[in-house]
């Protein structure tokens, strides 16, 4: 599992880098602290607003964003270690 801090999906959401923004900077998309995509047009005020779109993986680093996916990733990594004969729990 990657232990580096992704500037798009870790830390307080007000400090995260936008996943995308337009050239004038008046429209941007971030990943909020609840792991929902949030754009600068919040609240379904327009047809194309991303408000309420939950995602399971960071689109920039691939890190799982839900507890279930994190646990699945840990189990998969451990199974691969066991298959290779590595035992870190001795």
Q: Give pLDDT tens digits for 13-71.
A: 888 899 998 888 788 888 888 888 888 875 555 666 666 778 888 999 998 887 777 77
- What per-residue confidence (pLDDT) applies to 49? 63
Are 28 and 50 in contact, with CB atoms under 8 Å apart? Answer: no
Say yes or no to pLDDT of 82 above 60.
yes
Q: What share of the chain is helix, strand, coil (3-state, %, to 5)?
A: 25, 15, 60
Say yes or no to pLDDT of 1 above 50.
no
- What per-residue confidence (pLDDT) applies to 60? 93
């Amino acid at each position: 599992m990657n232990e580096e801090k992704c500037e798009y999906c870790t830390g307080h959401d007000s400090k995260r880098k936008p996943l995308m923004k337009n050239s004038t900077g008046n429209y941007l998309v971030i990943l909020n602290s609840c792991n929902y995509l949030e754009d600068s047009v919040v609240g379904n005020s327009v047809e194309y607003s991303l408000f309420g779109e939950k995602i399971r993986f960071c689109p920039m680093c691939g890190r799982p964003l839900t507890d279930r996916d994190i646990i699945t990733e840990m189990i998969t990594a451990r199974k691969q270690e066991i298959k290779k004969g590595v035992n870190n729990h001795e």
